[in-house]
Amino acid sequence: MKIDGNAIRPGNVIEHKGGLWRAVKIAHTQPGKGGAYLQVELKNLRDGSKLNERFRSSEKVERARLEQKDYQYLYMDDDMAHFMDQTTYEQISITAEDIGDDAVFLQDGMMVRIEFHEESPLGVSLPEKVTLEVVETEPVVKGQTASSSYKPATLDNGLRVGVPPFVNQGDKIVVSTAEREYVSRAEG
């Protein structure tokens, strides 16, 4: 599907220079001379390289048709993550490298959304928030208030985040997968 160069939005996947690219950031620019253009930061979905391109409204770009399906995460072995389609029970595998830094958040039984382009998996979208257990953190210092700065904590997946002083070792917390930050204490 062809779209105008100025119609690109963050998250769009386009076919450009023989590859598939996801728009990461966009900025509308109107210089003093010449026509306005859209400055787009693109990330290659195959090798992770980045590219900055200018697109004018008169240019046409090919927006890639992506199919999204929900899958259940099963397990990781070697460098491959295995997923199962809940309706057909078909299993697929994606390398941890293709998943990227988000692979650290995968948990047994977690439902994820996988994007496909022409039957080839491109990426995995995780839930916005996950619940993790604090395995190591500093003890509370007497007189420290909850409004003071966060203290470092190591979670059961190896991730390090800042947590409020009232969070202790063994507590379960909710973490934002996009921001990689503490959100709240887990319920129950």
Stated pTM of the model:
0.72
Question: How many Cα atoms occupy the beta-carbon half-sphere of 151 within 13 Å?
Answer: 17
Tell me how far apart the alpha carbons of residues 24 and 42 are, in angstroms, rounded to a whole number.
6
Average of per-residue pLDDT across 91-102: 87
| Percent of the residues in the chain that have a pLDDT greater than 90, as a whole number | 50
pLDDT exceeds 80 at position 65: yes
Tell me how far apart the alpha carbons of residues 137 and 164 are, in angstroms, rounded to a whole number.
10
By CB atoms closer than 10 A (0-12, 13-18, 19+), residue 81 is buried
What does pLDDT average to over the chain? 88
Q: Looking at the chain, how many residues does it have?
A: 188
